[in-house]
Structure 1
């Protein structure tokens, strides 16, 4: 079987956690004067919602404004782009099918029904006026409003091509074949650069897709790339804030609506996906170019600025190729990159436990902390342990089915989802209806910017590669920026080769057996915190005891 390069090379940790953490699986921690054991949370969950810093991507709670809503109905305008030197060889329907309905189903399952993600595709390839090579698209290339080429030129050309298609009566007409039934699609090639005269003054963070393993030499890594500084625009041209209800279109297998070019209103959508022709640029196994520009308005249009834009290049191999879009849209939801882009060799960070680090290979879910950040876990499912004492918690597996969280529950229409009372500590709005009550996340603040998180991961629909079920312990540092290790999983078996029967190059092997099992104890001497896994039942629920000095 051909080896598919991974997101990053798996490099053993050189003691990056050892300075602060130590653990002794199977050994009890003796602390003097242990008080009575308290069952469950000892404080309101919001007391453990550690904030981040600034408007950019971070793991802090709440998520800054400007990103896409994460609950209720979310609309994703989806456009298709090819180039004169890379004409699409497939239909736009075939390209869409690489990602949908799988992406919508992923978000529905991971959010326990809180997120109703609906694509709004405009079928027909939008031909760019320049060859692909002319734009200078490469790994590490960001967006700058003053650029004559790059993503600034490309986005202006996309908007201009869409306007031409609208003026020509949409995608139908004489031109290239673009549909399975042979319906021709208008060739939108036209002279001129199509750029607006007044680019938006604010530049968003540029988020590159992780590079395949062994491909870091050709990339500067995933860096924050900005143009002019500024804050998110307020008023009518600003992206809709988290919690605003998106339109609720019907059709498209119940997950969206097909649009004509003339129907496009950028202000009516929460994010924009640009799916390029798969043959434009290098194959993903050689170099990953997919990138997102989230959080701030980009170039202006007649119906509002582009915002929360993700570009998907090439096609990912394997049976879950849609997860590249899940990863990129994760940035539109305010999630940071969890893989390493800093100096030096990459330490072991979160591995395959979150799609924001590894999104190739077998399916994987999203960390419980990030689910809470997005409002997919409610406060009633989060136990908070902010002070001294001994607490005991029974934690339900993250992938276990949960109560429906979105509208449509208890007679509440889906269109109303996202407009309910706020989810305490998360900064996003709660959808009316049923919420979960089982504990799925235990949080132990270690300082103003750090928190220890406990969750249970077992083999499930989205966690198909879990080979050692148990309690996953992670250290979250909300002041660490995207790409510099904001989350680091604590390995219960440091130095091991992992537990996968058939090793997968897309799964960091050393962290595949990271969860703690009954009898294992984790101890942070510096913070005075110990976590002992005391029991597990047949349904995967694990009992943990947290002791704080």
Structure 2
């Protein structure tokens, strides 16, 4: 589910479907529903700082991959199906709506994965007509299960006449944004309790897109993150009052699609398989440990700003994430954030500190940014949460993480733009 609200080209046309029946019965669960438990998988990280996957929905555990989710490696094909309704004549075209999201979404993931993952869209070029008025589906953020199931049943039925779903790992159902019953706040990933069996394949998840034209920035990238088992990192007030973005502020796409620095945390890149084991360091034992952290956005051949102000190359294979174990299901993460790539509009740069808990649910604070400057804020006119906009530890600063006995000092920057840090544990983690 998405957070709070404040030229396409070269896309292939979907392949025609093979004859198959669409299931007429389904039960849908919202993206925040709890699954039955962690799926068995081979562990892919054995470092002492790797958290175990728990039964929490979208657990931040990294010792295994949940095979119920698509792994974002290589190329994944996504079909975009455009749905119109009898109570409205579309004022936009499928090409317009495709351009709202692509190539921006693919570009985001290409940069975040250092080129290891390509999201390839296959948009239809025409509208498919739903059998009922848009108002009949009662779309809203907390969608009634029966209304949601009726919408998906009708959408699959009309799309199955033209789309071979066996060819795609991602399905986007994009509704006419001008239809009277379409609620832009209802965009979300829907987990199917009983998968749709269509074209010889099981479809377990669908992204239902109800965005206005033009849409929220990076909203489709956020929803696609859920398809890869990433949790919501924003806080949703139970009583409808209070702050939304107090967990991570601007610092990860899964916290807000509006963030000034929306690149995925290094922890998420590790979880998704985009960091090599040697790029993650587990700091253990009392006493100081000195290491060099490369800017998170730096990849092979990707320029970042060096200390002289000019673009510097040659980074991309060094350490991206330092970790300190703080409990059975918790660690502290340390990563360097700059002003390039997906973070080019970042408010501040430096070493970002955050807590990770593999037992916390999606939306329940599985990652929380630690504010190194708790008495100040920054970029109040553009930040989604100004108190955390200046959270990183800046060059020359030293910061002790409250309640941990762990201190991080940012000592220097290399000519290439990497950060020299010192992490000290006064209490062994």
Q: Per the shorter chain, which TM-score range?
A: 0.7 to 0.9
How far apart are 1:467 and its partner, in Å?
2.5
Q: Specify which of 315, 330, 336 is matched with residue 450 of structure 1.
A: 330
Q: How is 1:105-504 mapped onto 2 (pairs within 5 angstroms)? A: 105-141=107-143, 144=145, 147=146, 150-163=147-160, 166=161, 261=162, 264-280=163-179, 288-294=185-191, 298-315=195-212, 317=214, 321=216, 323-341=218-236, 343=238, 345-346=242-243, 348-360=246-258, 362=260, 364-402=262-300, 437-498=317-378, 500=379, 503-504=381-382
Number of residue pairs matched by the alignment? 370
Partner of 1:205: none
Q: Structure 1 residues 63 and 279 mapped into 2: Cα distance closer, same or farther (>3 Å)?
A: farther
Q: 1:157, 1:308 → 2: CA distance?
A: 16
How many angstroms does 1:470 deviate by? 0.3
Report the alpha carbon displacement of residue 403 of structure 1 after superposing the two structures with TM. Answer: 6.5
Deviation at 1:527, TM superposition (A): 3.1
TM-score scaled by structure 1?
0.63
Tell me the CA shift for residue 311 of structure 1.
Answer: 1.1
Cα distance 1:375–1:296, how it changes in 2: closer, same or farther (>3 A)? farther
- Tell me which of the two structures has the higher relative contact order, counting C-alpha pairs closer than 8 angstroms and 6 or more residues apart: 1
Output the CA distance in 2 between the equivalents of 1:373 and 1:156. 33
Per the TM alignment, residue 55 of structure 1 is displaced from its structure 2 partner at its CA by: 6.7
Structure with more of its chain in strand, by fraction: 2
Decide whether aligned partners of structure 1 residues 283 and 507 sit closer, same or farther in structure 2, where only a CA change above 3 A counts.
farther
Aligned to 2:16: none
Instruction: Give the direction of change, closer, same or farther, for the CA distance of 1:480–1:403 in structure 2 (3 Å limit).
Output: farther
- Structure 1: gaps of 5 or more residues: 1-5, 10-43, 167-260, 405-434
Q: What is the Cα deviation at residue 468 of structure 1? A: 1.8
Q: Which has the larger radius of gyration?
A: 1
TM-score by length of 2: 0.79
2: distance between equivalents of 1:387 and 1:132?
Answer: 60
Alignment partner, residue 52 of structure 1: 53
Relative to structure 1, is the Cα distance of residues 294 and 464 closer, same or farther in structure 2, using a 3 angstrom cutoff?
farther
The runs of 5 or more residues in structure 2 that have no matched partner are 7-44, 303-314
Residues 316 and 541 of structure 1, relative CA distance in 2, 3 Å threshold: farther
Distance 1:531 1:393, change over 3 A: same
Q: 1:387 to 1:537 in 2, by over 3 A?
A: same
Could you list the per-position Cα deviations for residues 422-447 of structure 1 after superposition, in whole angstroms to 9, with x for gaps in the alignment?
Answer: xxxxxxxxxxxxx9530111111111
Question: Is the 8 Å Cα contact of residues 294 and 334 (structure 1) preserved in structure 2?
Answer: no
**Counterpart pick for 1:523 among 372, 395, 400:** 400
Give the superposition deviation at 1:56: 2.5
Q: Report if the CA contact (8 A) 2:334-2:354 is conserved.
A: yes
